[in-house]
Amino acid sequence: MKFSPEKQSYLSHQLVNRLLSKKLVQVSSKEDLFEVVKKGIQNFVKEWDDLNQEIKKKIQNIKRGVKEGSSEWDVLYRRFFEEEFRKKSSLFYKK
């Protein structure tokens, strides 16, 4: 997932403005909220990129050599993504 710093900043401003306009949060400083939201977006993008790289390495390590872009590669990517996402999200969301 590619988000330039400008896009991250834009999205942060949009989220902050929406949260405040809908009165979903109460803050003493709009700038502080902006920084928290922006940091959250940055962390999300980094985690997403790390997960993507991890999955690509798993596919590259398959002995039979799966070509990126092939239908088999797409199937493996989705399967590995779902597995890894489930593992990582279970750390945060206990049932």
Would you say 41 and 8 are in contact if contact means Cβ atoms under 8 Å apart?
A: yes
Among candidate residues 55, 56, 19, the one with its CA nearest the CA of residue 40: 19
Q: Determine, yes or no, domain membership for 68.
A: yes
Among candidate residues 39, 36, 41, the one with its CA nearest the CA of residue 1: 41
Angle, CA 46 vertex, CA 44 and CA 49 arms, to 5°: 110
Q: How many structural domains is the chain composed of? A: 1
Q: Determine, yes or no, domain membership for 95.
A: no
Q: Is this model's pTM higher than 0.85 or not?
A: no
Which domain range does residue 57 map to? 5-90
Q: Determine, yes or no, domain membership for 26.
A: yes
Which two structure tokens, joined as six digits, stand for 4? 């330039």
User: Would you give per-residue pLDDT tens digits along the chain (95 residues)?
Assistant: 678 999 999 999 999 999 999 999 999 999 999 999 999 999 989 988 999 999 999 999 988 889 999 999 999 999 999 998 888 776 666 55
The letter for the amino acid at 49 is: D
